[in-house]
Amino acid sequence: MERILTYAEAIREATEQEMARDPTVILLGIGVDDFKAIYGTTKGLIEKFGPERVFDTPLSEDAMTGVAIGAALAGLRPIHVHIRMDFVLLAMNQLVNIAAKGRYMYGGAVSVPIVVRAIIGRSWGQGAQHSQSLHSYFIHVPGLKVVAPSTPYDAKGCLIKSIRDDNPVMFIEHRMIHYQKGHVPESTYTIPFGKARVLAKGDDITLVGISYMAVECLRAQKLLTEVGISAEVIDPVSLNPFDLDAIAGSVRKTGRLLVVDTAWVTCGVSAEVVAQLTERFQDSQQIRVQRMGFKPVTCPTTKNLEDLFYPNSQKIASAAYTLVHNNRKFWTPTHVEPPEIMEFRGPF
Amino acid sequence: MYEKFYRSLYRIRRVEEEIARIYTTDKIKSPVHLSIGQEAVSVGVCEALGRDDIVFGTYRGHALYLAKGGDLRKMIAELYGKATGCAKGKGGSMHLIDTDVGVMGMSAVVGTTIPLAAGYAYALKLRGKNSVVASFFGDGAVDEGVFHESMNFAALKKIPIIFVCENNFYSIHSHQRARQALCNIAERARVYGMPAERIDGNDVLRIYERVMKGVQEIRSGSLGPRFFECMTYRWMEHVGPNEDFEAGYRLRSEAEPWFEKDQVKRLGDFLDPEARQMIEDEVEGEIREAFEFAEQSPFPDDVDLYTDTFKEA
Ligand SMILES: Cc1ncc(C[n+]2csc(CCOP(=O)(O)OP(=O)(O)O)c2C)c(N)n1
Ligand SMILES: [Mg+2]
C-alpha cells in the first residue's frame, strides 16, 4: 500500500526526521509553536524537541534572519519559517548582503547553512500584500539556492536536502499545494537540486510549471488531451540551480514551450527560462515560446478581478492550443475552479 | 458628549456584528480582522481629533476608519469587493482608506504605516499646517525594528504625531510576554524622548481626555510626539467572525474582566433611554442602508484590473 501524505505533512515529517537525526537543526519563526502550526507543518515539534530548538520569535523578521545567520555561523542549522513570503521583504538585507555573500566575501572561511521557508499565499481575497511570489528576487542573487517543489514527495526530499546543504536555501511553498496528496516514503531521502521532474510525457508542447503552476499545468495537460494535444509537463523543482538540460531536451522534441509561473512575468523565472533556451537553440532549431504568469498589476481582492489576475489550467490549455496551432486556431475549455481554491476559507 | 461617543461606539460595534453575521454567507470574500471589544481606543482618540487631522492604521482598521468619519457605505462595499468601495474593491477589509476625512490607509504588513505617519507629520510641520497625525498599531508592531526607528525619528524632529499603541496583549496567538522582555511599552517609548503614558481599562473617556490634552499641546506649539499605550482586549479570533476561547491559547476567564469594561454598554447606560433608543434606531437604519448599497453595487469591470497601477498624466 502506498503511503499517502499531504504536502504540509511531508514538510512536517522532513523537519521532524532531520531534527531527530541532527541536534544542530533548530526551527524558528513567527507562529511555529502556534496551535495552527503554520498550516500543520510544524505540528507537535515543540512538544518533541522543546522550546529551545523550536521557538516563536518576536515580529522582527530582519533581526531574526540575522540571528539565524549568526547561529548558522556558530554551527547550528536554523530553519526560519515565514508564513507569508511578503514578510521576507523585511529580511532582504540579511539574506542578500550577508547570507548570500558570506562565504564568497570571506574567501570561503565560513558557510551559512540556513533554510528560509517562504510560503506564498493566495485566495479568499488576500490581496496586495499577502499573495506575492517573489522567488525571482532570490534567484537573481548569486549565493542563494532556491527550490519550489510541487509534490509531497519532492517537498520532503527537497526540505531534507535543504537542511543538509551547507548554503542558504530558500524553500518556496505555495499555500494551494499544502493540500495536495501524494506518495511519501517514511524513510528519509534527499532530492538533488538542479534536477527537473517530468510530471507527464508528451510530444506536442512542453509546459513548464513553477510551484503550484505545475499542478495547474497537469490539469491543463488533461484538458488538452480532449483536443488531441499531447503536452509534456515539467516541474523544475529547483529554480537555482536550474535544470535547463531537461527542458531543452523536451523542447527539442516538441518545438514549443510555455512557461507558467505563479508570479509576474517580467524579469521572472519564465523570462529567464525562455531567454536561456532561445540562446541555446538559436543556431539549431526554430522554437515557439510563450510565458504566462500574474497580470502586470497588484493583486486585487475582489473575486472577479482576482480570477483575471491569476493564471489557471483553462488559460494554460488555451494558450498551449494556440501555440500548437501556430496562432491560427483558438480554443478555450470551460473553467472549473479547482477544489483547493473553491474550498479555501483560511486559516490565513 | 456622551451621546456622540455612544453613537460612534455603538455604530462600530453593530457594523462589525453585522459583518460577522453576513460573513457566513460568503458575500465577503476576504479576511476580516474585527475590533469588537477594542472600539474605545479608536473612538477615544478620534473624538480628540478634527477632520483635518490624519490617521494611519492597520489591517484591523474598521473601528479606526469609522471613528475618524470614514464613509460606511464605501467600507461595506469594499468588503463586498464592489466597484463602489473605498478602494474600488481592489483593497478589501485590510486596506481601507478615506482621504476626505483624513483616513490615510491601512496596511496588512505589521508596522509598515508607523513611519508613513511620521513622514506625514514631518511634511505637515514643514508645510506649516496645524494638523496632527495619529499612528495606530498593535503591541506586535512594537517588536519590529521600524517601530523603534520611527520613535527615534519622531522625537529627533519634534513632529506633530500621536502614537497610539492598541495593546490587546496578543499578536495572533502569541502573548506579549512570549515576545517582549519588558511589557510596559509606554515606558520604553519614553526613553526615546517623548511624553508617554499607559492608559488602563479600555476607558474611552480617559483615552479621549489624555489624547485631547496631547493634541492641544501640540496645536499650541509644543511640538513633538506623544505616546499612548491603550490597554484593551480583542474579543473575537485574530481573523474571522468567531470567538476562539476554545482554541486553547487564552481562557475566557482572562477575557471576562474586559467584557465588564465594555464601553458600548458603559456609555449607553449614561444616556437616558429615549435618547439612546433614537441613536440606536438611526444607526441601525444607516447600517441596513449601507449593506443594501453594497449588495446592489456592481463588481468592478474587467478593465478595472489594469487601472491605478500608476497615476496617469
Ligand atoms: C511584518 C509582518 N510580520 C508578520 C505578519 C503576520 N501577522 C499578521 S497580524 C499579526 C499580529 C500583529 O499583532 P498586533 O500588532 O498586536 O496587532 P493585533 O492583531 O493584535 O491588532 C501578525 C504577526 C505581518 N502581517 N507582517
Ligand atoms: Mg495585539
- ipTM score for this prediction: 0.96
Q: How does pLDDT run across B93-103, given as a tens digit for each residue?
A: 999 999 999 99
Closest ligand 1 atom to the C-alpha of B38? 21
Q: How far apart are CA B6 and CA B283, in angstroms?
A: 11
- Reported as a pLDDT band with limits 50, 70 and 90, residue B146 is very high
| B161: pLDDT strictly greater than 90 | yes
Q: How far apart are CA B132 and CA B212, in angstroms?
A: 11
Q: How does pLDDT run across A5-62, given as a tens digit for each residue?
A: 999 999 999 999 999 999 999 999 999 999 999 999 999 999 999 999 999 999 999 9
Question: Which of A82, A130, A174, A178 is flagged as catalytic?
Answer: A130
Domains of chain A from N-terminus onward: 4-183 (3.40.50.970), 197-343 (3.40.50.920)
Where b means 16+ CB within 10 Å and e means fewer, B37-52 reads bbbbbbbbbbbbbeee
Q: How far apart are CA A198 and CA A231, in angstroms?
A: 11
Nearest CA in chain B to A32: B174
Cβ(A280)–Cβ(A248) below 8 Å:
yes
Q: Is A130 designated active site?
A: yes
| B313: pLDDT strictly greater than 90 | no
Q: Which of B140, B144, B302 sits opposite A308 (nearest CB)?
A: B302
Query: Residue A91: which of A41, A25, A40, A137 has the closest Cα?
Result: A137
Higher pLDDT, B313 or B295: B295
Q: How far apart are CA B269 and CA A126, in angstroms?
A: 39
Residue A94 contacts B, CB cutoff 8 Å: no
CA of A1 from ligand 1 middle (Å) equals 43
Q: How far apart are CA B125 and CA B205, in angstroms?
A: 29
Query: What is the DSSP secondary structure assignment for residue A121, as one 8-state letter?
Result: P
Mutual orientation of helices B273-296 and B72-79 as an angle, nearest 10°? 50
Q: What integer pLDDT is reported at residue A126 of this predicted model?
A: 92
| B216: pLDDT strictly greater than 80 | yes
Query: What is the DSSP secondary structure assignment for residue A166, as one 8-state letter?
Result: S
Where b means 16+ CB within 10 Å and e means fewer, B237-272 reads bbbbbeebeeeeebeeeebeebeebbbbebbbeebe
Provide Rg for chain A, Cα atoms: 20
Q: According to the CATH classification, is domain B2-295 in 3.40.50.10330?
A: no
Helical H runs in B2-107?
Answer: 2-23, 39-47, 62-67, 72-79
Q: What integer pLDDT is reported at residue A120 of this predicted model?
A: 96
Among residues 53-92 of chain B, which lie with CB inside 8 Å of chain A? 81-82, 89-92
Q: Between chain A and chain B, how many beta carbons pairs sit less than 8 Å apart?
A: 120
Helix (H), strand (E) counts: chain A: 14, 14
| B69: pLDDT strictly greater than 80 | yes
Residue A52 contacts B, CB cutoff 8 Å: no
CA of B153 from ligand 2 middle (Å) equals 23
Q: B106 Cβ partners below 8 Å, 6+ apart?
A: B56, B57, B58, B59, B61, B64, B65, B94, B95, B96, B97, B113
CA of A302 from ligand 2 middle (Å) equals 27
- Mutant choice from B27, B82, B90 vs A, greatest count of A C-beta within 10 A: B90
Q: How far apart are CA A302 and CA B81, in angstroms?
A: 4
Q: Is A174 designated active site?
A: no
Question: Where along chain B do its domains lie?
Answer: 2-295
Which ligand minimizes its atom distance to the CA of A34? Answer: 1
- Reported as a pLDDT band with limits 50, 70 and 90, residue B78 is very high
Helix (H), strand (E) counts: chain B: 11, 8
User: Which residues in chain A have Cβ-Cβ distances shorter than 8 Å to B138?
Assistant: none
3-state helix, strand, coil in chain A (%, to 5): 40, 20, 40
Closest ligand 1 atom to the C-alpha of B108? 25
pTM over 0.80: yes
Ranges under pLDDT 50 in chain A: none
Mean pLDDT of chain B: 97
In this structure, the number of other CB atoms found within 10 A of the CB of residue A111 comes to 15
Q: How does pLDDT run across B21-51, given as a tens digit for each residue?
A: 999 999 999 999 999 999 999 999 999 999 9
Q: Which of A58, A125, A297 sits opposite B81 (nearest CB)?
A: A125
| B223: pLDDT strictly greater than 90 | no
Q: A225 Cβ partners below 8 Å, 6+ apart?
A: none
Torsion A94-A97-A103-A109 (CA) sign: negative
In this structure, the number of other CB atoms found within 10 A of the CB of residue B162 comes to 24
Q: B268 Cβ partners below 8 Å, 6+ apart?
A: B6, B10, B276
Q: How does pLDDT run across B271-308, given as a tens digit for each residue?
A: 999 999 999 999 999 999 999 999 999 999 999 999 99
Which ligand minimizes its atom distance to the CA of B136? Answer: 1
Q: What integer pLDDT is reported at residue A346 of this predicted model?
A: 86
- Mutant choice from A302, A308, A337 vs B, greatest count of B C-beta within 10 A: A302
Residue B302 contacts A, CB cutoff 8 Å: yes
Pocket of ligand 1 (CB under 6 A): A 30, 59, 61, 87, 90; B 60, 108-110, 138-141, 168, 170-172, 238
